[in-house]
A = this chain, B = another copy of it.
Amino acid sequence: MTTDSPEEIVTAALIVIGDEVLSGRTKDKNIGYVADRMTEVGVDLREVRIVADDEDDIVAAVNALRTRYDHVFTTGGIGPTHDDITADAVARALGRAIDVDERALDKLLEIIPRDEMNEARLRMARMPDGAVLIDNTVSRAPGFSVDNVHVMAGVPSIMQSMLDDLLPRLKTGTVMQSRSLPTNHREGDIAGPLGELQKAFPDVSMGSYPHYDRETGFTTTVVLRAREAARLDEAEARVRAMLAATAEARR
C-alpha cells in the first residue's frame, strides 16, 4: 500500500440478543470472536449492544444501529422456542413481512425427519421478505441477511460457521494494521509524551493498556493502529524512542 492509496473505512455494529447473557448465566463468546474477524478483514466494529429477549428492545437496537453503520450483525434468538424472537423483531424493524421461507425449510428438512417437523421447528424457517440465507454447516438451520442486517445464531460454533459463509460477500475496507509495544513503564510515566505523539500523528490511533499484577505492579502495552503502513512505521519509531528516553530518565 502506498501513502496516497485511497483508504476505505467500513463500519459495523453487533447486537447480542439474550437474557442469559445479561443474567450472567451464559458468558458471551461471540463478541471477542466477531471483533477479531472484523479486524482481520478490515471492518471497524464501532459498537456492541447486549439486549434482552424483548421485541421492542431488539427493534430499537436494530433501528438505531442500521442507519449508523455499514453492517449490523445479530447473534442469538433464532431457535424454535417462544423466546426466539429475533427474526420477527428484525422484520418489524425493517418494515418487512415475514413467513416460512421454502429455501430455509428445505435446509431444515436435510436434518429433521418430516414426521418430526412441528410448528416450533417451522419457526426456524421464518425469514423476512427478501432475505438472503446464511449457511450453517453445523446444524443446517440458516441465518439470513436483509439489507445491511445479518442475523446469526447464538451458539458459538454455529455463529462461526455462519460468519464464514457471510464474510466473503460483505463489503470490507482497508485493513487496520497494528503494532503492540509492551513496556515496563507505568502509564503515568509515559502518558504525557504519548499524548504529544498522538497529537503529531492524528491518523495513527495510539492506545495505552495497563496490566496489573499483584507481584510486579503496573506495566503498560502501547498499541498503535493505522491503515497506512508507512505512517505506522514512522509513529512506531517515534514511540520507541520516547519509551527508551523515558527509561533512561528514570534510571
> Which residues of A are interface residues toward B (Cβ below 8 A)?
16, 19-28, 31-32, 35-39, 44-53, 57, 79-83, 112, 116, 118-121, 123-124, 138-139, 155, 157-158, 176, 178, 180, 187-192, 194-195, 198, 205-212, 218, 223, 225
Residues of B within 8 A of A187 (CB): 79-81, 120
The complex is assembled from copies of this chain, and their number is: 2
CA distance A195 to B119 in the complex (A): 11
Residue from A112, A119, A191, A195 with most neighbouring chain B CB atoms (10 Å): A191
Contact: A83 with B210, CB < 8 Å? no
CA distance A205 to B52 in the complex (A): 12
Contact: A223 with B20, CB < 8 Å? yes
CA distance A206 to B209 in the complex (A): 40
**What are 12 A-to-B residue pairs whose CB atoms are below 8 Å?**
A20-B223, A21-B48, A22-B44, A22-B48, A24-B45, A46-B57, A47-B57, A48-B50, A53-B207, A79-B187, A118-B191, A119-B192
Residues of B within 8 A of A39 (CB): 23-24
